[in-house]
A = this chain, B = another copy of it.
Amino acid sequence: MKLSGQEELEASHACDDVPVGQPDGDPGSDPSPSDPLNTGSRDLGVPKDLPLFIQLNELLGWPQTLEWRETGRWVLFEEKLEGGASRWSAPHVPTLALPSLWKLRSLLAEGLVLLDCPAQNLLELVEQVTRVESLSPELRGQLQALLLQKPQHHVQTPGSGPCWGSSRPSKAPPDKEAPLKEQRQNPLRRKLPPGTEAAAVLAGELGSLAQPLGAFVRLRDPVLLGSLMEVPLPSRFFCLLLGPPTLGKVYGEMGRAAAVLLSNQQFQWSVRRASNLHDLLAALDAFLEEVTVLPPGRWDPTARILPPKCLPPQHKRPSSHLRKVKGCSVLRGTGTKDRHQHGPLAPSPELQRTGRLFGGLVQDVRRKASWYPSDFSDALNPQCISAVLYIYLATLTNAITFGGLLGDATEGAQGVLESFLGTAVAGAAFCLLAGQPLTILSSTGPVLVFERLLFSFSRDYGLDYLPFRLWVGIWVATFCLVLVATEASVLVRYFTRFTEEGFCALISLIFIYDAVGKMLNLAQTYPIQRPGSAAYGCLCQYPGPGPGGNESQWTKSRPEDRDDILSLDLGMVNVSLLPPHKCVQQGGHPRGPGCHTVPDITFFSLLLFLTSFLCATALKHVKNSRFFPSVVRKVLSDFSSILAILLGCGLDAFLGLATPKLTVPEEFKPTLPGRDWLVSPFGANPWWLSVAAALPALLLSILIFMDQQITAVILNRGEYRLQKGAGFHLDLFCVAVLVLLTSVLGLPWYVSATVISLAHMDSLRRESRACAPGEPPSFLGIREQRLTGLVVFILTGVSVFLAPVLKFIPMPVLYGIFLYMGVAALSSIQFVKRVQLMLMPPKHQPDLLLLRHVPLSRVHLFTAIQLSCLGLLWIIKSTPAAIIFPLMLLGLVGVRKALEWIFSPQELLWLDELMPDGEGNKLEKGLEPGPSFSGSDSEDSELMYQPKVPEINISVN
């Protein structure tokens, strides 16, 4: 809390920074506006480039009741007063008519221009401005009175909810000096960064004027102009544009033009430094040079252009805006994971090979050790509490879902309890010791799939699973240590998007296939009762010739059951219609084909499955809806999975059907009955299996290496502006140790999980608070610390005691979440978007940058190759050799290399990314435009403004 002051300071910097879109020159090298970040250079002579709030007051009501009214305001974008609706429009890109700029120019050229005017208050300013020769004394007096008149401001009611009361402007008595209450309470004020100056533009038509009156004033010291402005900010600029009545709102439009000019960073820079009229007009001409023109009649002028998500810089210098674009679309939402690929993955310093054994690991430890104390002190911020809550619930959901599915897949060799315990132990250890403590360790899709295959393998060959698995774990740890020792992590650069997409698509498809398959299997477990089937045939038969005493016994003890049982009506003593489980309780035998069927379960399970899938999907999309305040939307979207699970449980509990439920042991002991927490090293297996386990371990090591390292690269991207650096080798080392530990304890295996780690980072992002209307808050960095993760996993550990509650969760609900995960992961990759392109007629295809640069047939060819690779992987996955699929995934790297024979580097750059060529120094070669005309210069530099098609989702979790 006590850091809030510092926060605000950062905020002000941030808002000045990237998104304001000021021209960025090399400071000092040319006389262009310097970076306002260095506000430290407070020389008296050099004007400070503070943000500017511009307000347009229009003179309305001529000839009856002259009145000033604020009709527009600008910081970055325009907000217009909706006259009839008394409300501010949404911020939008201003549009002007060209003649109004010309007229403004000529009026300024002829009018009064006062630079560094020494006026100290509005009165003095008004006197200065009206000291024009052409005005008669009485007109001057009238004008002065008019200018001192309090304008009508529309101050929006604070609070984000829809306001019910009338919010028409109130007419407070004018008080010249102190800021009015409504000015101080104006919510706009909080949005403007500290130090913001104001500019007032007054424009309108006045019948008593014979000729136009234009004045532009730059005040030497910014002055509070009383009630003139809607916010009590000191004004630096004052612009007056009055004239005789005209057809149309000529002066109002000129006022808008002046305001838009002043809101332009480049013009501001120039006009703050202008020393005479000539400089002012030159700045205006420079502005005109840069404008974009829309021809008449081809565009609806009442349409408002929404602020772009990413502001383009004003000068097109490819070298500089690369950085900016990267900074712009980072971490927007947890669901989308952007990956900008302006050229190949630039190897970060952490991924440079040292050439020494364990050299990378040593470097990592050395680097991270210096940050270790701050990894705890940096967590002292209230934001961390909400981050802990969010990530805890997400981890819990993950532990339940994956634990349930693992129990399902391994037939109870592991289960939810192991999942909770393992998550807690592995996660906490990783947060304490790893190179990138923001990473959340979790069960991930690929490892789950592998574990399922390993289990079927060991079941098919009659092996004792957990001991076998222990040896696999020991070997995996060994192989990973070798990988750490040889600094193999630097090879991660060969995993291009092609590999990652194949990886992700395969796992997602397995998820979807499994979820649907498990639901269809339910129809066999609980057969549907067709009209012809003998669903009714079940009765309870008692052994022995005459159980009369027995019969009378339960008839007496349960009189309320009499109607149900009907045994007396049947006139038989050794047969009753008791339901099977009660029959067994009574010592009878259920007889008949209908005894083993449970009606309604299949369809109800299907309903639960669909409900949880659709609910999770819908809630995830609430984030982008227009309804509800953004806090509510964020909560609904962030907790979509757990809310869907809760809804499914509620529905199930409400109807009380015997749907299949999650298996949870009654007390704190392993799910597999009879086993100790420590796995015995051999069990029933022959000794040589400990050696043979090296083979599957090799496959798993490949998988873990790919899963872990690709995630690590994504998390440590430059655009997240991490200050404390990454630790690829240290991370892998930790994972190896934890694989060993969890194998010994018979717990699931864990690696870094992309989605949840990104969510963790997102919940810890620092953003500027004060931002101009229409400007997205700018990204300042991430609170890099170890505490939130640690607390999350301690809480997860404590939640082991929640286990008894978990047995109320129906499995179909978990399958629904499983399906949702698969579909969400699948739809996030570019590959799927390209498959969709195949189904779209060219004219309906979205305007992807990719399609602007690569012929459609080549795009389709690339997609078709990916599809065939995926088909091949799927076939392998369906054969008994399924377990070797990690090797095949690695084979994708080779396929990708072979693609260089088919596609040009330019095409691969757009469709994928470039692979390192030799030692990575000649990487840029492929980027040069070839002798063909593909991509002319201007087009290529244009492209830099837009982030390339983003989205990568490496693993399902």
Contact = CB atoms under 8 A, between A and B. Distances in A.
Interface stretch (A347-355, A374-382, A428-436, A566-574): A566-574
Contact of A842 (B84, B87, B536): B87
A656 interface: yes
Nearest to A626: B844
A839 interface: yes
Nearest to A100: B293
Contacts of A86: 855
A933 interface: yes
A220 interface: no
Contacts of A667: none
B308 A300 contact: yes
Contacts of A499: none
Interface in A158-174: 160-168
Number of copies: 2
A847 interface: yes
A9 interface: no
A458 interface: no
Nearest to A942: B302
A105 B96 CA distance: 21
Contact of A97 (B64, B90, B293, B528): B293
A93 B305 CA distance: 13
A533 B581 CA distance: 12
A771 to B, nearest CB: 13
Contacts of A541: 570
Contacts of A846: 626
Given A563-B593, A600-B603, A87 B287 contact: no
Contact of A166 (B163, B538, B857): B857
Contacts of A528: 600, 604, 655, 657
Interface in A826-853: 836-847, 851-853
A203 to B, nearest CB: 13
Nearest to A861: B164
Interface string A134-167: 0000000000000000000000000011111111
A298 B538 contact: no
A292 B297 contact: no
Given A295-B287, A852-B82, A946 B162 contact: no
Contacts of A565: 534, 537
B84 A161 contact: no
A526 B232 CA distance: 71
Contacts of A168: 855
A920 interface: no
Given A603-B603, A839-B628, A934 B856 contact: no
B537 A566 contact: yes
Nearest to A286: B296
Q: Secondary structure at chain A's binding surface: helix, strand, loop or mixed?
A: loop
Interface stretch (A262-270, A337-345, A804-812): A262-270
Given A528-B655, A536-B577, A607-B606, A292 B302 contact: no
Contact of A938 (B248, B294, B307, B566): B248
A362 to B, nearest CB: 46
Given A534-B565, A536-B579, A946 B853 contact: no
A517 B385 CA distance: 45
Given A297-B311, A607-B607, A566 B591 contact: yes
A87 B851 contact: yes
A602 interface: yes
A61 interface: yes
A213 interface: no
B61 A933 contact: yes
A334 B632 CA distance: 36
A863 to B, nearest CB: 11
Interface string A576-591: 0111110000000001
A77 interface: yes
A288 interface: yes
A249 interface: yes
A504 interface: no
A249 to B, nearest CB: 5
A295 B264 contact: yes
B851 A85 contact: yes
Given A314-B296, A566-B593, A847-B89, A942 B531 contact: no
Contact of A293 (B96, B249, B572, B840): B96
A312 interface: yes
A293 B293 contact: yes
Contacts of A535: 579, 599
B301 A295 contact: no
A83 B657 contact: no
Nearest to A257: B293
Contacts of A937: 248-249
Contacts of A299: 93, 292, 305, 308, 312
Contact of A163 (B295, B599, B600, B857): B857
A146 to B, nearest CB: 17
A95 B292 contact: yes
A563 B592 CA distance: 9
A794 interface: no
Given A249-B938, A295-B264, A575 B580 contact: no
A192 to B, nearest CB: 17
Contacts of A595: 536
A241 interface: no
Nearest to A593: B564
A314 to B, nearest CB: 4
B579 A566 contact: no
Contacts of A167: 855-857
Nearest to A92: B847
A569 B607 CA distance: 38
Interface in A639-664: 655-658
A312 B303 CA distance: 11
Nearest to A944: B302
Given A90-B847, A301-B942, A836-B627, A96 B658 contact: no
Contact of A577 (B288, B537, B838): B537
Given A531-B657, A857-B167, A312 B300 contact: yes
A84 B630 CA distance: 41
A626 B290 CA distance: 35
Given A84-B852, A84-B853, A162-B860, A291 B302 contact: no
Most buried by B among A87, A97, A99, A657: A87
A802 interface: no
A544 interface: no
A40 interface: no
Contacts of A935: 83-84
Interface string A932-953: 0111111100110110000000
A770 interface: no
A950 to B, nearest CB: 16
A855 B87 contact: yes
A163 B837 CA distance: 12
A718 interface: no
Nearest to A90: B847
Given A248-B938, A265-B297, A85 B852 contact: yes
A260 interface: yes
A529 interface: yes
A300 B946 contact: yes
Residue in A23, A98, A595, A851 with the greatest tally of chain B CB atoms within 10 Å:
A98
Return the 10 tightest CB-CB contacts between A and B, nearest first: A599-B599, A537-B577, A603-B603, A84-B934, A290-B296, A84-B853, A534-B564, A297-B314, A536-B538, A292-B294
Given A167-B857, A569-B591, 4 more contacts: A69-B933, A83-B935, A85-B851, A530-B656
27 contacts: A23-B297, A61-B933, A82-B853, A85-B851, A85-B854, A86-B855, A87-B856, A98-B288, A98-B289, A98-B292, A162-B856, A163-B857, A260-B295, A266-B297, A287-B296, A297-B313, A298-B308, A304-B847, A531-B656, A534-B565, A535-B599, A536-B577, A537-B577, A600-B600, A603-B607, A607-B607, A627-B836
